[in-house]
Structure formats: structure tokens, C-alpha cells
């Protein structure tokens, strides 16, 4: 029996996240995991709600979050990123299901994004596999 997981993808950096999703799918197959659900959200702010809904599903054993939170001109991205990550951790504990964090940032600058896409996507899935 295959273990099913889900992925929440932030669409603000859609081209980059589509590439991350492909690496996540490859990594999932390496670990014998099936990605049963992929949900696209506008940005990091919407990740916790989508994640909560997915983790509530009986057939979903865990989930990954893929996205980018860039460094902006204000502290908005940092504050939002900290709130999102705190919520992700809380949801993992409430649902007692592993969540792989494949969110680059907060505070990512353009030159930081490209080299982190594949490693973050793969690490998010590997973390779920390890915790299952």
C-alpha cells in the first residue's frame, strides 16, 4: 500500500515552484510516497489554511509546503514568514502528521532562490519520509 501525502504550493513565484514540485514528485517516488493532492495558494499567508485542510483528510499521512518568501523593503516578509512557519509547526503538532518545509526564506534575495529550489523541495519530502 502506498502512503499518500499532499503538497501546498505558493503561486506567487509560480515558475520556480512548478520546478520545485517536479523535484518533490521525484523525491516522493524515491521514498515510495504518492502525492495525492497538490493545492496552489496565492502566497505564504494562505499556506496554513490549505495545510490544515489537507492534514484533516484521513488518507493524507503528511504534507509539504513549497514557496518563496523574498526579502522586501520592509519587515513585512520577515514577520509574515515567521507567522506562517509558526502556524505550520502548530498544525504538524495538532494533526500529528509530518510537514516538510520547502519554503525558501523569509528574507530570500533573488540570488538565493535558484540554488535552493531543488535542495529545499527534496528536503521537504525527505523529512516527511523520515518522520513517517
Distance CA 22, CA 99 (A): 18
Q: Please give the sequence-ordered ranges of beta strands (E in DSSP) within 11-120, or none if there are none.
A: 33-41, 63-70, 99-108
Which of 13, 31, 76, 112 is flagged as catalytic?
Answer: 76
Angle between the N-to-C axes of helices 47-55 and 76-95, in degrees from 0 to 180, rounded to the nearest 10: 10
- Residue 13 is among the residues annotated as catalytic for this protein: no
Q: What is the DSSP letter of 112?
A: H
Which residues belong to the active site? 76
Amino acid at each position: 500500500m502506498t502512503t499518500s501525502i499532499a503538497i501546498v504550493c505558493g503561486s506567487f513565484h509560480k515558475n520556480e515552484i512548478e520546478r520545485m514540485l517536479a523535484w518533490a514528485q521525484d523525491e516522493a517516488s524515491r521514498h515510495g510516497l504518492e502525492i495525492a493532492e497538490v493545492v496552489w495558494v496565492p502566497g505564504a499567508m494562505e499556506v496554513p489554511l490549505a495545510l490544515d485542510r489537507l492534514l484533516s483528510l484521513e488518507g493524507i499521512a503528511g504534507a509539504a509546503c513549497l514557496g518563496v518568501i523574498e526579502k522586501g523593503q520592509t519587515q513585512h516578509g520577515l514577520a509574515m514568514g515567521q507567522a506562517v512557519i509558526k502556524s505550520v509547526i502548530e498544525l504538524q503538532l495538532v494533526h500529528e502528521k509530518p510537514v516538510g518545509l520547502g519554503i525558501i526564506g523569509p528574507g530570500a534575495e533573488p540570488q538565493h532562490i535558484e540554488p535552493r529550489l531543488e535542495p529545499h523541495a527534496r528536503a521537504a519530502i525527505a523529512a516527511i519520509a523520515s518522520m513517517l
